[in-house]
Chains A and B, each alone.
Chain A
Amino acid sequence: MLRFLVRRVLGAIVILILISAVTYFLFFALPADPALLSCGKNCNPQTVALIHHNLGLDQPIPVQYWHYMVGLFAGRDMPIGHCNAPCFGFSFANQQPVWDIIKDRYPTTLTLAVMGAAIFLTIGVGLGLISAARQGSLFDKIASGISLTGQSVQIYFIGPLAIYLFADNLGWLDRGHDVDWAHNPVGSITGMILPALVMSVIFWSNYSRQTRSLMVEQLSEEHVRTARAKGMNWRYVFFRYALRGAMGPIITIFGIDLGSVFGGAIITETTFGLHGIGNLAVAAVLQTDLPLEMGVMLFSAASIVLFNVLIDASYAFIDPRIRLA
């Protein structure tokens, strides 16, 4: 069990290093010259050369990468000042440490992700379970229809509709704003309900369909029939045997989705005018703010990898056959 986890964690670290190397080299293979970008309006070849030297851009790319990685773990001194670990460098746009910008934006992304995930998991799995328990019923048909529709709509389509209906017309929900846990904890939650609900639609549709089909499959498994033959009642067999078997795949999808929502929900944030990681990534790309792009990218990648490791670990708890592997 411990060996299994250690192996997964080591694997995840290798993957993260690979991701960082690939993104780093890709960025610096781009035609955009970071020195030119950070040089500003009154630019002349001398300044550019100076900046090149100051940023360390005159050194070979592997050396630059090495410095970047060292900075990530130990911090580093840069021309603009000392950069504390984890150092992703300074933003070209406003000279702030990238890590500070990410920290500043992350509460919004985190709140959206946690609330959205709670909603889509509950609604999606709940609908799927009821549909599977009542196959062919009216409920099943309606739920399947809604799920199919939910999977085909886009956030930027239902988002504005939802704002118009629930915020502007009915006035039930806040139209969505950034969180401020320190000063306005209640508003932080209420302001995120509508975005989280809208974001969850495309996710829970998938869960209800997957859960339904996994449960239907599990219910026809022989070990489920054995449990019935033992005289266990239907509800017990449904949850303890069938759901137990369906849990693995559901958790796998959940882990992948968590990784992506914790890494920033670009479309949801843009639709609701939220300033989270996704929105930050878009801004960084538009401004060709390379350190910021690099930082956000690594951060999102790390989030996906982290959740994958957690999923692997939870799998070991769910399925005893994996514990020995």
Chain B
Amino acid sequence: MTTLTQPEGQASPQDAGAPFLSVRDLYVQFATEDGTVKAVDGLSFDLERGKTLGIVGESGSGKSVTNLAVLGLHNPRNTTISGEIMLDGQELTGAPNRTLEKLRGNKMAMIFQDSLTALSPYYTVGRQIAEPFRKHTGASKKEARDRAIEMLRKVGIPQPQTRVDDFPHQFSGGMRQRAMIALALVCDPELLIADEPTTALDVTVQAQILDLLRDLQQETGTAIIFITHDLGVVANVCDDVLVMYAGRCVERGSVREILKTPQHPYAWGLLSSIPRLSASVDVPLQPIKGTPPSLLNPPSGCPFHPRCAFRDEVDGTLCQDERPPLVLDHGRGSACHLAAEQKQSIFAERIQPLLGRAG
């Protein structure tokens, strides 16, 4: 299991049991003409080798921003990053570019969402895969090319010896995404960040890609961060889940806990908005009301309160006034002012029946 035992705001332990990836109090802010966008607003999590952490949330909740910060890919000109990102005992925030360049594509790699725009149209797939391999291992052109062919074969591209010389536009969408994965895995990264790797694909291809990632993880023991807004995918691949809202973690726990007994009204909303075959057709889907909050000017108190259907169950104006802390017990918890019993009873009595056979 991924250990999510650290309470918010506490420094990472110094002992040998330090997690492989540890993010502490991460803040990412963008300076824009309209003001400062607080894209990530105090986020902490840990990840162990061989485990998969799902990060879910709506668009603009800070999922991708968090992970680009791990890779150090934000533009330093307009981005302020504070907090601590430790990868295998190495501090990444504020690390010099040369250090990060040695890690990127090597020890930590990323699969981007849209492989059509994420791959350069000007170079062959093989060259783009071989490039980081040559850079990080010092391999010759020939060795790198052989490696690219091997990787393409590994991700299931037919006739990799010839397809290696194709350009991305000559690949189908699913093949391109596989090539993207081959590119990310070419140096056997120890940390793999997959940013909605299957969102743009049809369901059958999606299942193949997820299988592929799982096989590769079993083979190499890679730690995976899986960014998605698809809870079906989460149920399939993740060990633990972190639900993000407005740049903060609002709930986390094991995948089973999040899907079976979610505690945060936002997580309830996410679950209710999934169509289910087992649900009665008379029960309408329940989208989450309202729109994601502006990160330029986030709501006071709990950022979810303007959209929350249960804020009246909390005494007074607590939700409007005070930001609920994330209280964790053995890596399980949520940031909500509702009392634990309230959460349980509301979910059991009012949410679960709408979900049909939950899970």
Contacts and interface: CB of A to CB of B under 8 A. Distances in A.
Interface in B120-169: 120-122, 131-132, 135-136, 167, 169
B120 A241 contact: yes
B118 A231 contact: no
B103 A231 contact: yes
A319 B118 CA distance: 16
B77 A135 contact: yes
**Contact count band on B:** 20 to 34
Contacts of B225: none
Nearest to A221: B117
A253 to B, nearest CB: 19
A183 interface: no
A245 B97 CA distance: 24
B118 A223 contact: yes
A228 interface: yes
A14 to B, nearest CB: 30
Given A244-B120, A320-B121, A320-B167, A228 B73 contact: yes
A223 B117 contact: yes
A222 B77 contact: no
A231 B132 contact: yes
Interface string A216-238: 00000111111111111110000
Interface string B88-115: 0000000001001111111001101010
A91 B36 CA distance: 71
Given A222-B118, A230-B132, A321-B167, 8 more contacts: A223-B118, A223-B120, A225-B118, A229-B71, A230-B183, A231-B103, A245-B121, A318-B122
Interface of B: 71, 73, 77, 97, 100-106, 109-110, 112, 114, 117-122, 131-132, 135-136, 167, 169, 183
Interface of A: 135-136, 221-234, 241, 244-245, 318-321
30 contacts: A136-B77, A223-B121, A224-B120, A225-B73, A225-B112, A225-B118, A226-B119, A227-B131, A228-B104, A229-B110, A229-B112, A230-B104, A230-B105, A231-B100, A231-B101, A231-B103, A231-B104, A231-B132, A231-B136, A232-B105, A232-B131, A232-B135, A233-B97, A245-B122, A319-B122, A320-B121, A320-B122, A320-B167, A321-B121, A321-B169
